[in-house]
Amino acid sequence: MSMPACDRPGCTGVIDQTGFCDRCGRRPPREARSPSSPRIGARGRGRGSWVSGDLLSPPVLDLPAPESQVGRTLLRVDRQVCGECGRPAGRGYRGQPALTEGYCEHCGARFSFSLKLREGDLVDGRYEVVGPLSRGGMGWVYLARARRLNDIHVVLKGLINTEDRTARRFADNERLALISLDHPNIVRILDFVSHPDPVSGNPTEYIVMEYVGGPTLSELKTGSAWPGHGPLTVDLAITYVLEILAALDYLHGEGLLHCDVKPANAIRTANRVKVIDLGAVREIGDRHSAVVGTRDYQVPAEEISEHGLTVGSDLYTVGRTLEVLVQVAEEVRGQRSGSGAIAVGLDSLRQVIKRATAPIEHRFTSAAEMSTQLKGVLREIVGLRGRTVRPVSSTVFEDPVVLLDAGLGSVPPLSRWTGVPLATTAPVNQPPAPAAVVAGLPAPRVHPADPAADLLARTGAASPSSLIRVLAEGRDDPSAVVASVEVPLVDCRAHAAVADLPGASARLAEAERLLGAGGAHDWRLAWHRGLVALAAGDTGAAEAHFVEVYQALPGEQVPKLVLGLCREILGRAEAAEHCYRAVWAGDPAQVSAAFGLARIRLGRGDRAGAVAILGSVPTTSRHSAAARIAAVRVLCGRISPADGADPVLPTAAHFAEAGRRLAALGLDEDPEVRLRASAHEVALDQIRAGGQVLPDGVLFAAVPATPPRRGLRARVRRRWPARVRATSPASPTSPSGTAGTAGTADRAPVAPLTERRVRELLEELYGRLAEQAHNPDDHGVLIDRANAVRPTTWW
């Protein structure tokens, strides 16, 4: 697919996969911003408005008086360099003290590293100097009082070396950049003033900025104590970097790059993080200004030489900042990959860092995109720590609708008895079939800028077969379909869902052709390759493709969900569990992950653990009823151990609990009969295997110690059609009649269940199932089942 042309007058470049012109470096117009990558939350300047929202609210810090910070940091003489040639200047040698004034021994340029302002100096007749606070990369920073503004504290920032023409140019850049910026995560400029240099008498310019109190992230990184803050945790590190990304998103939207993000250039104020030191700010696309940055945080020189400084290079500095903070946080918390409650969340976090610091073609394309993924990881980690997080719709994938539960969350259909041999009772912890996964996974959202976005929006709810037909009919429209990448991708999913592998592969190949070279870094192709492989039954290949998607979108839950399903199908229960835990912790709407965790626990023989997981599904979820049904089936079903041992049957206690839960479900008569029938089959298997004799509880109808003899009427009624049977009165000992069951239990002594009694109950249930048959063949099959299970009698 051809790249869109740059709209800047006179430019012949194109907008490449980074989202910027490959020639001038300009971004497209703001209206081209995709709704899937919105501006990072616009917030006011009030207290407590963190980008992380309600996921994590760092404590409000009590900051010390500004005067107490004066003189804490001075210029280290072992770092003095000449402003002209960049080589050491004025440093001490063989016991001789360092010089703060003089001439460079290498190029002869004059240098001056001395303080230019002293306590009590009045700058521009308005700002009274209190003393030096620290030094930035290009200038001394002084604390002052604004005499005309009620003596509020402000900051004056000047030059370290007034003879440094490069530093002066960067000061001018900072002034121009700051004068129009207004964002809660960026230090605000208040004024520009000048004051005579105490040595040369020449005027020195100063930027007047708001005073931003608090520790830098570099100070927090080194473990410096700060009252009320505590140790730097992974959660806090992510929260602080989200604030930095909000500032960068704003700067990039204004056509500017920061170029020098690092922990030392971000201050943790009382209630947020502010980015400071904008001396390296430049316009996007500027390939002429000198490159300024910090070696340990800047992109490699080869990238700068080929691409210049870009949005991608800014994101690289954020990735390095995050990496440094997380490394320290892990040491503080003693967290390492493979251990601890949040280990799986740390893996996702490392994927964010890995992509942010990857080669430019693999990097995030915007601060908003990186922020979205990082916030998803924070949700995951917060959830893994045991806190409840609210469901939030993904900007990348559709909301989950289909429950991938392999039927566990629904009452068995009548076909369970009309189409399966009597001796077969499937374990309740079987994973979903690959075909069901392909058809039921949440789909990627259609890119709003795609030419066919409107067409696809109108066909969103169509079945796969209907969708294939609609897209085939619309393929002749060159204005909407021919140039669309989303149409073949949607068509590919539809063909895969109906197991048309040649059709799915052909449509995927078409999408690859349209994307061209840009497809090498497009996660959508990896996603659809995974779907096609899964539909073909090659789960191992599918997993490899979905790993690519996870690496590109580490904050999304759907890629982790499908990885968990693939690994469960492949028999790697522990790896699947890691994925399911991350998904369920990060998004309570992904109930398929809860069912996955329940199946993993069942594979270990932990019925109680499985029931507990199912019980954690919120009552407000659309799948709440399915989770309650699944809990009953888990308690009274057979399970297949993960180690391949013989199936495990429920105990008497499990059946009793299942009965109590069944009574609370409030099912209609027909589904309740089917659920009871499946439980009775397992009970019969247990007794025949020599297991415990089951007590007669709610699940099994209580009967007198000596059952009544069955007469001709009962045998004849089994052969009546459903419409006639429906008018017959229910038996007082019917296993489906809740009131009858309770009344009988209160009035009659309860006898332990024997194989004969279970057979009698199951015979009656099969007869009741026959009433639900929709055709004579199914009716006959169910009557045959009833006759086959009936205990031997003399009549």
3-state helix, strand, coil in the chain (%, to 5): 45, 10, 45
The rounded distance, in Å, linking the Cα atoms of 749 and 696 is: 10
| Residues carrying an active site annotation | 260
Token duo for residue 54: 């309600």
Of 388 and 99, the one with more pLDDT:
388
Over 451-507, what HEC string results? CCHHHHHHCCCCCHHHHHHHHHHHCCCHHHHHCCCHHHHHHHHHHHHCCCHHHHHHH
Closest CA to 631 of 650, 652, 602, 610: 610
Q: Is it the case that residue 228 has pLDDT exceeding 90?
A: no
Give whole-number Cα distances, 190 to 158, 187, 251, 788, in Å.
14, 10, 18, 91
Structure confidence at residue 738 (pLDDT): 38
Of 250 and 757, the one with more pLDDT:
250
Structure confidence at residue 762 (pLDDT): 92
The rounded distance, in Å, linking the Cα atoms of 133 and 72 is: 7
Comparing 8-12, 656-660, 769-773, the range with the smallest average pLDDT is: 8-12
CB 292 within 8 A of CB 136: no
If you average pLDDT over each of 15-19, 98-102, 172-176, 297-301, which comes out highest?
A: 297-301
Q: What's the mean pLDDT when you consider all of the chain?
A: 83
Q: 405-425, pLDDT tens digit by residue? A: 999 999 999 999 998 665 456
Q: Is it the case that residue 41 has pLDDT exceeding 60?
A: no
The rounded distance, in Å, linking the Cα atoms of 401 and 393 is: 12
Q: Is it the case that residue 391 has pLDDT exceeding 60?
A: yes
Q: For the chain, give the number of residues.
A: 795
pTM over 0.85: no
Q: Is it the case that residue 5 has pLDDT exceeding 90?
A: no
CB 400 within 8 A of CB 440: no
Q: 256-295, pLDDT tens digit by residue? A: 999 999 999 999 998 899 998 887 888 899 888 878 888 8
Structure confidence at residue 465 (pLDDT): 84
- Give the count of beta carbons closer than 10 Å to the beta carbon of residue 52: 21
Burial of 665 (0-12, 13-18, 19+ CB in 10 A): middle
Token duo for residue 121: 């100096």
Q: What percent of the chain has pLDDT over 70?
A: 77
Q: 626-652, pLDDT tens digit by residue? A: 999 999 999 999 999 988 888 899 988
Structure confidence at residue 197 (pLDDT): 84
Q: 590-626, pLDDT tens digit by residue? A: 999 999 999 999 999 999 999 999 999 999 999 999 9
Maximum Cα–Cα distance across the chain: 124
Structure confidence at residue 43 (pLDDT): 52
Structure confidence at residue 716 (pLDDT): 38
Confidence of residue 72 (pLDDT cuts 50, 70, 90): low
- Give the count of beta carbons closer than 10 Å to the beta carbon of residue 275: 23
Q: Is it the case that residue 398 has pLDDT exceeding 90?
A: yes
The DSSP symbol for 422 reads T
Q: 739-774, pLDDT tens digit by residue? A: 334 344 444 444 567 889 889 999 999 999 999 999
The rounded distance, in Å, linking the Cα atoms of 489 and 525 is: 8
Q: Is it the case that residue 715 has pLDDT exceeding 80?
A: no
Question: DSSP string covering 553-569, please?
Answer: -TT-SHHHHHHHHHHHH
Q: Is it the case that residue 795 has pLDDT exceeding 70?
A: no
Sign of the CA dihedral running 174, 177, 178, 184: negative
Please, which contacts does 286-290 make with residues 24 or more away whose CB atoms are closer than 8 Å? 286/25, 286/257, 287/25, 289/169, 289/173, 290/166, 290/169
Non-local (6+) Cβ contacts of 780 within 8 A are: none
Angle between helices 343-356 and 234-253 (to 10 degrees): 30
Of 382 and 191, the one with more pLDDT:
382
The rounded distance, in Å, linking the Cα atoms of 135 and 137 is: 7
Strand segments (E) across 174-301: 189-196, 203-210, 256-257, 266-268, 273-275, 282-283
Token duo for residue 188: 């605000």
Confidence of residue 721 (pLDDT cuts 50, 70, 90): very low
Q: 131-183, pLDDT tens digit by residue? A: 998 765 455 789 999 999 899 999 998 755 555 666 666 666 666 666 788 99
User: How does strand 203-210 pair with strand 189-196?
Assistant: antiparallel
Confidence of residue 33 (pLDDT cuts 50, 70, 90): very low
Token duo for residue 312: 């991608």
Structure confidence at residue 445 (pLDDT): 95
Q: Is it the case that residue 379 has pLDDT exceeding 90?
A: yes
Token duo for residue 788: 């086959």
Structure confidence at residue 713 (pLDDT): 34
Domains of the chain: 114-212 (3.30.200.20), 217-382 (1.10.510.10), 390-648 (1.25.40.10), 649-795 (no CATH)
Comparing 9-13, 313-317, 774-778, the range with the smallest average pLDDT is: 9-13
The rounded distance, in Å, linking the Cα atoms of 184 and 178 is: 13
Angle between helices 539-552 and 558-569 (to 10 degrees): 160
Q: What are phi and psi of 377, to 5 degrees?
A: -65, -40
Radius of gyration of the chain (CA): 35
Structure confidence at residue 723 (pLDDT): 34
Non-local (6+) Cβ contacts of 328 within 8 A are: 221, 222, 223, 232, 237
The DSSP symbol for 412 reads P
Q: 517-556, pLDDT tens digit by residue? A: 888 889 999 999 999 999 999 999 999 999 999 999 999 9
